[in-house]
Amino acid sequence: MSDAILGWGTIFQTETTAGWSTVAEVTSISPPSPSRDSIDASHENGPDDWRESIPGVKSGGEVKLEFNFVPGGETYNDLMSELDDNLVRRRRIVFPNGAILPFSAFLTSLEPTVPVDAQIKAAATFQVSGEIEPFQ
């Protein structure tokens, strides 16, 4: 039998002075996608005309959220405030099985979409800063 689980019940949270604040009505989360740069180390005397590469620095990538956009709502207003304050915040994704993925990130974009024939949504993108911690 498979150990697969549904995404339903997954939440995205930001640490505040009062505890953890949950982004309301999230419909989709793309967790961090870590990567490592590849540095070209080729030189004039390389072996048999082959490029050589060495590993560069790692990046935590981005986290993307989609949520139901409520014009004038608290979620959107809170995120708009983040665009102005330039702070890296502690974040976490809490999965339905209880696993928690903690990381630090700052908001880089907030994009509302208002289609004529569907629900109003917004997308938020966060740049991960530093290491993605192991699952808790």
Percent of the chain with pLDDT over 70: 100
What is 78-133 written as a DSSP string?
Answer: HHHHHHHH---EEEEEE-TTS-EEEEEEEEEEEEEE--SSS--EEEEEEEE-SPPP
Give the pLDDT score at 45.
85
**Per-residue pLDDT tens over the stretch 18-40:** 999 999 999 999 999 999 999 99
Give the pLDDT score at 46.
80
What the block records as the tokens of 43 is 């030189």
**Per-residue pLDDT tens over the stretch 103-123:** 999 999 999 999 999 999 999
Q: Which residue has the higher pLDDT, 46 or 86?
A: 86
Residue pair 69/85 in contact by the 8 Å Cβ criterion = no
Alpha-carbon gap, residue 104 to 102, rounded angstroms: 7
The domains of the chain are located at: 10-19+59-119+129-136
Give the pLDDT score at 60.
97
pLDDT at residue 102 is higher than 90: yes
Give the pLDDT score at 6.
95
**Per-residue pLDDT tens over the stretch 43-57:** 988 888 899 999 999
